[in-house]
Structure 1
């Protein structure tokens, strides 16, 4: 990434403002010694702004950057002394959004261990599989998960909240030295259709990744940011990295609750909110507070924006919405700002500075605007492969996202869905997202999902699952007639199933396997 662009962006976002020389020197020294991993980012923030609040929890307890670093270092020493954690070990973290999760990730990184961010929605059986496949030495977990971790293999050491706090309090202070290897972050893929895989995240090697994001999403140094997206997810973890780099104050709640989130946004005077799309839907279902939150940025990622959600949200909370399309494997691919979302509510936007994005056909050749193909992405933060040793297809420095999409004549990206979600009905290709977005515009519909089910005549047919707003009713034939009016006949769902809610994982993605199970039950 070219230096003038980096300097201009950092200046615009308030990161190159003058400071006390001794603190600026300590900040640069922290990055030089520890690098750009999460431990280095925390160290540089604590060196520059030690007394600034780093984290506010749901009880309103405030932890400064200096305190957060001290607690993380104490936990690292305790894990090394009491549990024998060494460079290269893997430490699982099964926690909701709270300061202890942050301390655990940083502590593992300080020791050169790999932190495995574990989805809080995993069952006991899935957790046991993850622990075995990721070769966990230690699992740090919240008290609520004690039953879920009870049957893990004996060699996996458990560290619950009380034991973690005892290590923090009981460990001696003193400087830790950089380990001989960088601790990696391992994020588990969503696992909406199968078992989650571990994806090794690379360590940034400079300002480039940060600049790519904050150039398009206008976050500033020392903002107050609520991270509602789960920190174990790529998007939530990316938000944490950005906040440390900005020396922001981070507001965390263990669980997402719409009313409590809105109250916190007002009480803490949050400048920004990181969320997943389904959270915006939930926020619109409760009365907006007065005064409204002073939000300048609402950044979402993790799943597709349902049709109509973007303008409805901005009508209530202002033109502050930014939609980042990416994945665990490619980090980011494109970003859509408020103007683009007003003009085309389902767009994923354009590739940010330093990112290459191409739509390729089956032979690996670029397709013309408007034609659907495979989405390939290149940037500084492509993943390093799965922990199983496998990877995704690469072409000319670009990585296959596994999604299908198209670019319009203006260069805006539209994502049609996962390649393996495409439904072939009577020889015609149908993308569930197109049908879902259309049905979601019906005023009675709270949320919609479409899957393909076997059909003896057409190979597959469409089944739609609808959750309605309280008190609403809808006739299945009216749904079919509505789709028939706007789309081709092969896009009309033969089966219309009404459910109380759609099954989703912790990041808001609909679990297709659960819909199939429900359909055949």
Structure 2
């Protein structure tokens, strides 16, 4: 049992002023002391800085305390006091420009958390000493911000792959003969959509593969229909190495197109349904597309493309003479030359101006691709998966590919509606829900009485990817639905990078999590060397699913086999990655590096705020400043000065947004990602845009 009072003394080979400056920053504590998930400034009290500190884990229990940061003597002593618990820590600094002696006196530390109460003094002393040593690493630049999960240990990684795929039931152990047939099928078609449906057709041809508005389609039917479609396309002259465009919503026709073209070795450009006609024309020309597969509702977007470009209807039959997928499937063809390599998907990166870049996604590399996600997300064979996330988005596409390996039944709504999503979960007893963050937000916005109409107790995994999840959204969702939320951080270029499971999110709601099996994540400085744990740098990722390059653009920067994600972040003391923001979002205001995300996180806790985005804009005096764009909840009373005062009391003065603009809605792309470049026009003035609606500056 820990005693009520004891001291910890440490000698640090770094200047006293450096130690002082680090300990005065609230963000330092979760970055260097494991077990502290968050440390957020709140309204000051009694002239002291107030911190909301989150301690513990999902297993040991989470405790949230309000703690005062009291400055006793500048550069020499400070205290962390928790009045509600009658506990405090006194920190004394002695030393000079070369060395520092740190004396920490702990009073009643066991009152802060049951796990501390049950620990020994020696355990707590070692914990404090490790945190203080990380201060030395921060000042001296120790290269410690590297997270590796089996990427550098091939034997262990192979053993883990076997463990995860066998544990999930991907490889059958009771029917070796069936397993051999499936492996032969996968070898023939590849570990892709085509191979997944073909293997499913051998193992369980009658199992439902897909449910959409038109009904159900089995694995056997999917394999037969896509083989016939591929043969008919081959008769029409499409060959391996060609590229086609696919402009469709989520439904069976989109999936059948991807599978059939993959069987022919044809690349498919997945076109965002929200792109304007001019950008679609640019994609057609840039990627040299040989044909277009398009839902009839999107015909106005492709109507004026060159008439020689063949078109096929993926949904509907409104245009005489235009073949539909049913027409192709009914031709009776079944033979075609199997390609040496299956077709690839070209995913359009989310751009806010100009034509999005096309990124070639690689085919999954055997069972290692499946095992990577299974190592962080507990999915099992034969379950039902709901995918409202668009399939033209990397996350929706990855989930569909994973579903075939697990022989899941995929429920595929063509468009997202929050209440309809819950209805589908209840109707089909969905176990896994694949979403993007705006969908999580919209589900939470449903009134409690509406959510209560639907039995969602079958849900075991809600996996979100595509943009950051605000900490307040994470906590609200887990309060409403339980510990079933998973936050996947990645990109079109690097696939996955990290996954935050419910234990990570309960402890540190804003974290991006830890790397899955076979992945290496490093936070690098300008010299491409790892920065210390707790320091901010560029996030680089290495795994076996890095993209195969852009169609017509230079690839991202590379270092030691890893790609630059374009994000800035840091690794905390518990080995979790945190994203500070995009490198092009960070501003320099009055010589200080300032990130928009902490301001967005703080404002998201305000009960009057429905949505918020913060961007950097030019400033004559400081070079740059922050501007906040806020969507208020209906009937909420909130003005710009209240917003500024709220941030002023919680973050640095450079984080206070000079401009606060209230909007009816934030501009979003087709996956729900906020399009920040559309918010501020030239000179930092709010930009008018039809998506935003009426703008009321500084109201």
Structure 2 length-normalised TM? 0.72
1:359 paired with 2:511, answer no
Q: Classify 1:338/1:485 alpha carbon distance in 2 versus 1 (closer, same or farther; 3 Å).
A: same
Measured in 1, the distance between the counterparts of 2:226 and 2:204 equals: 17
- Which residue of 2 is the match for residue 154 of structure 1? 307
1:74 to 228, 247, 252: 228
Measured in 1, the distance between the counterparts of 2:158 and 2:340 equals: 30
2:219 to 62, 65, 79: 65
- Which residue of 2 is the match for residue 5 of structure 1? 160
- What's the RMSD between the two structures over aligned residues? 1.6
Superposition map of 1:140-179 within 5 A: 140-160=293-313, 161=315, 162=317, 163-179=323-339
Larger radius of gyration: 2
- Which residue of 1 is the match for residue 629 of structure 2? 465
What is the total number of aligned residue pairs between the two structures? 519
Measured in 2, the distance between the counterparts of 1:381 and 1:388 equals: 20
1:324–1:334 Cα contact (<8 Å) kept: yes
2:382 to 222, 225, 239: 222
2:467 to 296, 303, 314: 303
- Which residue of 1 is the match for residue 349 of structure 2? 189
Shift, 1:136, TM fit: 1.0
2:395–2:465 Cα contact (<8 Å) kept: yes
C-alpha offsets along residues 391-412 of structure 1, whole Å, 9 cap, x if unaligned? 1111111111111000011111
Q: Classify 1:257/1:520 alpha carbon distance in 2 versus 1 (closer, same or farther; 3 Å).
A: closer
Deviates more, 1:391-400 or 1:7-16: 7-16
- The secondary structure found in structure 2 opposite 1:4 is helix
Shift, 1:384, TM fit: 1.0
Deviates more, 1:282-291 or 1:237-246: 282-291
Shift, 1:32, TM fit: 1.6
Q: Classify 1:264/1:520 alpha carbon distance in 2 versus 1 (closer, same or farther; 3 Å).
A: closer
Deviates more, 1:398-407 or 1:44-53: 44-53
1:29 paired with 2:184, answer yes
Shift, 1:389, TM fit: 5.0
1:111 paired with 2:278, answer no
2:371 to 211, 215, 237: 211
- Which residue of 2 is the match for residue 43 of structure 1? 198
Measured in 2, the distance between the counterparts of 1:112 and 1:404 equals: 37
1:444–1:472 Cα contact (<8 Å) kept: yes
Deviates more, 1:124-133 or 1:22-31: 22-31
- The secondary structure found in structure 1 opposite 2:244 is strand
C-alpha offsets along residues 63-93 of structure 1, whole Å, 9 cap, x if unaligned? 00111111212221222223x2111111111
C-alpha offsets along residues 203-227 of structure 1, whole Å, 9 cap, x if unaligned? 1221111101011100101110001
1:326–1:334 Cα contact (<8 Å) kept: yes
2:172–2:179 Cα contact (<8 Å) kept: no
Shift, 1:293, TM fit: 4.1
- Which residue of 1 is the match for residue 660 of structure 2? 496
1:193–1:511 Cα contact (<8 Å) kept: no
- The secondary structure found in structure 1 opposite 2:261 is helix
1:88–1:181 Cα contact (<8 Å) kept: no
- Which residue of 1 is the match for residue 686 of structure 2? 519
1:251 paired with 2:411, answer yes
Measured in 2, the distance between the counterparts of 1:428 and 1:171 equals: 66
Measured in 2, the distance between the counterparts of 1:320 and 1:58 equals: 27
1:100 paired with 2:253, answer yes
Shift, 1:387, TM fit: 0.7
Deviates more, 1:163-172 or 1:451-460: 163-172
> Which has the larger share of strand?
2
2:166–2:173 Cα contact (<8 Å) kept: no
Q: Classify 1:105/1:63 alpha carbon distance in 2 versus 1 (closer, same or farther; 3 Å).
A: same
Shift, 1:351, TM fit: 1.0
Measured in 2, the distance between the counterparts of 1:124 and 1:495 equals: 34
Measured in 2, the distance between the counterparts of 1:519 and 1:327 equals: 29
Measured in 2, the distance between the counterparts of 1:21 and 1:292 equals: 36
Measured in 2, the distance between the counterparts of 1:224 and 1:166 equals: 26
Q: Classify 1:520/1:231 alpha carbon distance in 2 versus 1 (closer, same or farther; 3 Å).
A: closer
**Residue ranges of structure 2 left out of the alignment (5+ in a row):** 1-153, 318-322, 689-699
Structure 1 length-normalised TM? 0.96
- Which residue of 2 is the match for residue 510 of structure 1? 674
Measured in 2, the distance between the counterparts of 1:153 and 1:509 equals: 32
Superposition map of 1:75-474 within 5 A: 75-82=229-236, 84-160=237-313, 161=315, 162=317, 163-192=323-352, 194-286=354-446, 287-288=450-451, 289-388=453-552, 390-474=554-638
